[in-house]
């Protein structure tokens, strides 16, 4: 742009301001918003691994420590699963034991505790399946570490 063109634009800006018009803003493509230092995102610079500095050994120790922690958590969760499975099997077995113990008992002279012809095969099947699931869940392969 020539110097005469710049003078014309400057005079137009003064005229617009004198008539109460808004100021014409020029937006630079290079301008960046001003961000206060405490709001600025800090991105860590990537560190290059150098074999001589002990970085690889440090990382392998961290990896080993993390894998031990994960194995411990997995073992703990298997223990919780075992306790829950044992609790379910114990409750079902106890209900079967109570049923067989009170099957022939009488409330009064003619009324029994349980109606005639009650079949227990469904309860025995459920207990059997729960025991099988527990055995498969805690077999030889699932308890191996590593």
In tens, the pLDDT along 87-130 reads 988 998 898 899 888 888 888 878 888 888 888 888 889 889 88
Task: Pull the structure tokens for residue 30.
Answer: 């290079």
User: Using 50, 70 and 90 to split pLDDT, how confident is the model at 135?
Assistant: confident
112 located within any domain: yes
Which residue, 62, 46, 65, is CA-closest to 54? 62
Name residues whose C-beta falls within 8 Å of residue 49's C-beta, 6 or more positions apart in sequence: 55, 56, 59
Q: Where are the beta strands (DSSP E) in the chain?
A: none
Residue 36 lies in a domain: no
| Single pTM value for the model | 0.49
Taking Cα atoms as reference points, which of 95, 93, 100, 85 lies closest to residue 132? Answer: 85
Q: Whole domain around residue 62: which residue ranges?
A: 57-146
Tell me whether residue 97 is in a domain: yes
Q: Is residue 4 situated within a structural domain?
A: no
Q: pLDDT (tens digit, 9 = 90+) per residue, 17-71?
A: 555 555 555 555 566 667 777 776 777 666 666 656 677 788 888 899 999 999 9
C-alpha span between 109 and 126 (Å, rounded): 34
The verdict on residue 16 lying in a domain is: no
Into how many domains does the chain fold? 1
Q: Is residue 25 included in any domain, yes or no?
A: no
Is 47 within a domain? no
Are 62 and 110 within 8 A, CB to CB?
no
Instruction: Please check whether residue 142 lies inside any domain of the structure.
Output: yes
Looking up tokens 């610079």, which residue turns up?
45
Distance separating alpha carbons of residues 17 and 22, to the nearest angstrom: 6
**Encoding tokens for residue 21?**
């018009």
């Amino acid at each position: 742009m020539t110097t005469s063109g710049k003078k014309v634009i400057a005079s137009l800006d003064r005229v617009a301001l004198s008539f109460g018009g808004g100021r014409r803003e020029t937006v630079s493509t290079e301008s960046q918003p001003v961000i206060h230092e405490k709001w600025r995102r800090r991105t860590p610079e990537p560190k290059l691994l150098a074999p001589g500095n002990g970085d690889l050994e440090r990382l392998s120790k961290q990896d080993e420590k993390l894998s031990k922690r994960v194995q411990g958590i997995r073992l703990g969760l298997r223990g919780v699963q075992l306790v829950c499975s044992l609790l379910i099997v114990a409750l079902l077995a106890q209900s079967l034991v109570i049923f067989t113990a009170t099957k022939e008992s009488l409330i009064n002279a003619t009324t029994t505790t349980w109606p005639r012809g009650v079949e227990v095969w469904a309860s025995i099947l459920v207990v059997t399946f729960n025991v099988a699931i527990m055995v498969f869940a805690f077999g030889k392969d699932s308890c191996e570490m590593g």
